[in-house]
């Protein structure tokens, strides 16, 4: 399953060259990931109430074409890998039907109390099964 998040590039996100700064893409990934998680039937705040956090363990981004102020982009999000301890999301930033950026983030499942790894399959089995069922390679 893929989820689409619409974002309009803001002036504050541009650099001196008038394009979206590279540091903005991880922020866009986070916004898209948050919306994606909701489609799996739970919010980030509910995950935390249930004792689960998803700290970032790895990030990657490939810049293909620039995005400029007021461009309207779509962030396409999907789960590419999932295990009982870790999840990886893939992202594509699309402008006018063209992919202008591709990226990924990997996160561990940890306890919000101890910050130690947990088995999400045991902690939130329904959530785990939902994410596993919508995973794409």
Residues serving a catalytic function are 15
Q: How far is it, in rounded angstroms, from Cα 103 to Cα 98? A: 15
**DSSP symbols for 86-118:** EEEEEEEEEETTEEEEEEEEEEE-EETTT--B-
Beta bridge pairs of residue 135:
none
State the virtual CA torsion across 89, 95, 101, 102 in degrees, nearest 10: 30
Under 8 Å between Cβ of 136 and 79: yes
Close Cβ partners of 37 (under 8 Å, ≥ 6 residues apart): 43, 44, 47
């Amino acid at each position: 399953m893929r989820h689409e998040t619409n974002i309009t590039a803001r002036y504050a996100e541009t650099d001196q060259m008038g394009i979206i700064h590279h540091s903005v893409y991880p922020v866009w990934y986070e916004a898209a990931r948050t919306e994606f998680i909701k489609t799996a039937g739970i919010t980030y705040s509910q995950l935390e109430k249930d004792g689960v956090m998803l700290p970032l363990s790895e990030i990657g981004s490939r810049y293909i074409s620039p995005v400029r102020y007021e461009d309207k982009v779509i962030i396409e999000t999907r789960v590419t890998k999932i295990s009982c301890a870790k999840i990886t999301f893939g992202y594509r930033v699309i402008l006018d039907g063209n992919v202008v950026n591709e990226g990924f983030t990997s996160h561990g499942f940890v306890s919000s109390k101890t910050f130690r790894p947990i088995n999400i399959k045991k902690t939130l089995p329904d959530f785990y099964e939902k994410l596993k069922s919508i995973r794409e390679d």
